[in-house]
Structure 1
Amino acid sequence: MQLTTGFWAFKTLAAAHELDLFSRLSGTTGTTAPDLAETLAIEERPADMLLTGCTALGLLVKHDSRYRNSPIAEEFLVRGKPYYFGGWVQMLDQRLYPGWARLTDAIRTNRPTTWNPDRQSSLFDGEDPRLLAVFWEAMHSLSTFTARALGRAVDLSGARRLLDVGGGSAAYDIELCRLYPDLTATVYDLPKVADIAAGKVEEAGLADRIGTVAGDFFAGAALPGGHDTILLSMILHDWAEDRCRGILRKCWAALPSGGQVVVAELLVNDERTGPPPAALMSLNMLVETEGRNYTPGEYTRWLRDAGYQDVRTVWFDGPGANGAVIGTKP
């Protein structure tokens, strides 16, 4: 029953977010079913059911007759809050939920269902810019907490210059630079994304330690040099093996002797039995990309084939990744 009804919980959350329930309740004394019905111009019956459902899921709390945001909803589901996660909810609801409805098609054809590779250059080609904007905000929140877990698990005290390949909104760089005062970083991503990263870095007050370089790691140009550590966080799962190997070779070419590459991902175990977050994210890659979530053994083999030595896996508990596979250039 938990497996078959799992989407009930998600759609309750998604509907409440779409109706802006949590932002409406923030900073108020709460609401009742009649009040919510009047505010949303809906019948009292569904208003009561929505409030009850959200409370049952831990998204609201009820005191006397009034419903208020729970701490987790107040922190992550209220627009404008530092860790607002609603963009991820919206992206899942509007893009991935319909794609997962066609999971069987993806399995039968080995092709994504959220976009058409025959007509679009990438999964974001033609996507609503407004949806992409809230998606990047959500990814920033997700990456912030994952970066903290990575920074505590992987000792980067010896690193001085970090290159974050496909670094997105610079969440990793901001958190790692906060954790390691001697570290500076460069975000390398597509021009539009690099602009987002620059804004986030400025907001964090770290523009003197984190820079951005616009580029495409599949284009012919080499990766920016002068860095002793390269981070690939939640990047390689998007791509097929040959492209992953190509990225790792480019990292090798950009690193000095003694430099290291850190591949942070939701790793599927070598037995290919789980864990569930990695295994299900891998199916999400089937719906969205040409890649999948790989195992530590696969990354280890690719790194060694590229020339890296002392390859090791460090496990940790983060919302976007559960481990890092690290290799050193001799």
Structure 2
Amino acid sequence: MKVAATAGTDQALSPVPLMQLTTGFWAFKTLAAAHDLDLFSRLSGTAGTTSAELAETLGIHPRPADMLLTGCAALGLLARTNGRYVNSPLAEEFLVRGKPYDFGGWVEMLDRRLYPAWGKLTDGIRTNRPITWDPDRQSSLFDGEDPELLAVFWEAMHSLSTFTARTLGTAVDLSGTRRLLDVGGGSAAFDIELCRQHPGLTATVFELPMVCEIAARKIKEAGLAERIQTTAGDFFADPSLPAGHDTILLSMILHDWAEDDCRSILGKCWEALPGGGQVIISELLVNDERTGPPAAAMMSLNMLVETEGRNYTPAEYRRWLDDLGFQDTRTVWFEAAGANGAVVGRKP
């Protein structure tokens, strides 16, 4: 939320907005604790629970059981009917382990990896270095990370990307696209959703070898192996990107990198595209005034914690595209879980 800078003429300033900001982590940690205790998975498909029953199930005191249930209900994660707590539709859809859109991996990654690192945000601001990993000793932010946690994270990112892709596919005109190259395409969530929206579309996921294995499995599960392929590679180490595509998608990629690296990636996109081809940069965009929106601004600070990049503005992306020779650059705004817009440019 954004703290009000002024008050009405007949109303004194209040610290209530500051109270909401300073206690924001209470809500997250309530969610994280409930997920860690498998609360939502335990309740799925049942008649619900009372605090006494939950205390017995978890082997805990009734006091914290009652407080946890009350807290989750207050956050809209549970509903209470006839004295029993059941999953809300939101929790049932996204917080039950094993469901198609299980978002729990994202909760777990933030709780185990990012929450402790954000406690050292001041260090990151003072040093201009990532907190979750050491660039002097590790090759990437995931180097040395728990493989089990990474697997859970990719599952969560698939859920997040699926819903973002659905919105992108309706906001950005892809009617003329026949072959899509998804650079750093992760688990292929964008490709699966966009191919479902556009029956004539085929796609290639360009990713690191270990991620291509995850993508190939997701593609097979979606029944789209004939239309979506994977190509293993590294957009920094490889001299060029795969050719033969008329649209290149960069979704939540460029915010990881400093400007010189972003320009390098975009330069390879330019070289790989034919005349008339387009590049789509989908991100949580910071506005050109650099005043928000909050989700983009906070994600940018998360890039300080996690990477060497930040969240950029549409004007910055348009300038980089213009410098390469892209034309008709434009920004398409939308609202999705993982992005709020896309900057699009066409190669003449």
TM-score normalised by length of structure 2: 0.94
Q: What letter matches 1:219 in structure 2?
A: A
Choose from 119, 123, 129 the match for 1:111.
129
Instruction: Give the Cα separation in 1 of the matches to 2:319 and 2:239.
Output: 25
Choose from 98, 123, 133 the match for 2:116.
98
1:320 equivalent in structure 2: 338
Which aligned pairs between 1:148-297 and structure 2 lie closer than 5 A? 148-297=166-315
| Deviation of 1:22 (Å) | 0.4
1:88 equivalent in structure 2: 106
| Deviation of 1:220 (Å) | 3.1
* Partner deviation per Cα, 1:253-278 (whole Å, 9 max, x = no partner): 10001100000000000000000000
SS at match of 1:294: coil
CA-based RMSD of the aligned residues comes to 0.5
SS at match of 1:290: coil
Gaps of 5+ in 1: none
SS at match of 2:21: coil
* Partner deviation per Cα, 1:178-218 (whole Å, 9 max, x = no partner): 11111100000000101100000101111111000000000
2:80 equivalent in structure 1: 62
SS at match of 1:187: strand
Instruction: Give the Cα separation in 2 of the matches to 1:198 and 1:260.
Output: 25
Q: What letter matches 1:233 in structure 2?
A: S
* Partner deviation per Cα, 1:197-253 (whole Å, 9 max, x = no partner): 000010111111100000000013311010000000000000000000000000001
Instruction: Give the Cα separation in 2 of the matches to 1:258 and 1:89.
Output: 41
| Deviation of 1:46 (Å) | 0.3
| Deviation of 1:65 (Å) | 1.3
Instruction: Give the Cα separation in 1 of the matches to 2:212 and 2:322.
Output: 31
Gaps of 5+ in 2: 1-18
Instruction: Give the Cα separation in 2 of the matches to 1:218 and 1:189.
Output: 11
Instruction: Give the Cα separation in 2 of the matches to 1:56 and 1:270.
Output: 36
Choose from 307, 316, 321 the match for 1:303.
321
2:93 equivalent to 1:78: no
Instruction: Give the Cα separation in 1 of the matches to 2:344 and 2:238.
Output: 25
Q: What letter matches 1:26 in structure 2?
A: S
Instruction: Give the Cα separation in 2 of the matches to 1:7 and 1:21.
Output: 19
* Partner deviation per Cα, 1:58-113 (whole Å, 9 max, x = no partner): 00011111111000000000001000000000000000000100000000000011
| Deviation of 1:118 (Å) | 1.1
| Deviation of 1:295 (Å) | 0.1
SS at match of 1:3: helix
2:45 equivalent in structure 1: 27
Instruction: Give the Cα separation in 1 of the matches to 2:133 and 2:338.
Output: 23
Instruction: Give the Cα separation in 2 of the matches to 1:78 and 1:129.
Output: 21
Q: What letter matches 1:121 in structure 2?
A: S
